[in-house]
Amino acid sequence: MRFRVIKVTNEGNYEGFEESYKDVGTGRGAISFLVAMIPFVIFSIMSLMVFWRGSPGLGFLLFFTGMFLAYVAGSTVRVNREWEQGVILRFGKFKRTVGSGIFFIIPFVESVITRDMRIRTLDIPTQEVITRDNISVKVDAVIFMQVTDVKKSIINVQDYEYSVGKFGQTTLRNTIGQKTLDDILEKTSDVAHLIQEAVDEASDKWGVDIQKVELQNIELPENMKRVIAIQAEAERESKAILTKANAEKNASLILKEASINMKDPNAMQLRILQSISEISKDQANTIIMALPMETLKYLGPGGIGALSSINSSDARRRTQLKDRK
């Protein structure tokens, strides 16, 4: 059987839960039909034979007797599918539970109610909640639940799915109301776990186990979205400044170590020669360098001669090109 539980709000919106299978099945199937057909076919043949012999009264009696026995036989045999369990009531009182497969009941005395034991998904409609720091948010969630005790789910509660949904709504509002906005956004899994524990504790006496609760969507007001965006941008800029400052700090440390090494006259001389060689690669420029006396002292006559000879071949080549023009 299929049921739909719908609540209509004052604004005309529909809220509530739709249950795919409201498992109040009777367990009747093809096997029950086949078993019922055995006495029906037998007594139908007997009634035809009696009609043929000229006894219509006895023939009608046999035919209706076959129909009655067919109903009784079909009501005796029941079948539960692999994912179903049932409760048998005798004169309205609990007698026993039955699992999947074929089982038998006493017609007119016992009745059976089955439950779907698979995991079900239940959506909690969007709830508008005010957090502990007085910020209005809209939150919706989903509950994954499973019937673990078929007896409790039938006897202790009228509609376990509707009850879990309503209790989940209340728990969601209470839990979100005790948390700040930062806690909700940063610790979503912790908030969902708190809701799961509260709902699971209440649904245990209904024979339902709450497998998991997840917050699907957290909707913030537009002004809060802008504030959070500004805050995030400021945090990124702060991180960028810190990264740049750390890079400059590391560069200064490396330069400090390099300056210590440059105290060696030979190292300084090689560095000056390398710098002049790199600068002189540009043939369009004339390079004039002013060196302190200490540097010239370190270079000595040989170093000064080397400086003057750097890229001299290129200079001669440029002079020859100008003469040709």
Q: Is the pLDDT of residue 163 over 80?
A: yes
pLDDT at 216: 86
Dihedral sign from CA coordinates of 308, 313, 315, 320? positive
Q: Terminus-to-terminus CA distance in the chain, angstroms?
A: 104
Stated pTM of the model:
0.59
Count CA atoms closer than 13 A to 49's CA, side-chain side.
7
Please write the tens of the pLDDT for every residue from 172-201. 999 998 888 888 888 888 999 999 999 999
d(CA 218, CA 111): 46
Q: Is the pLDDT of residue 228 over 50?
A: yes
The DSSP call for residue 206 is: G
Cβ atoms within 10 Å of 45's Cβ, excluding its own: 12
Please write the tens of the pLDDT for every residue from 249-280. 887 777 677 766 666 666 666 666 666 666 66
Question: Per-residue confidence at 54, pLDDT binned at 50, 70, 90?
Answer: confident
d(CA 160, CA 199): 12
d(CA 117, CA 84): 6
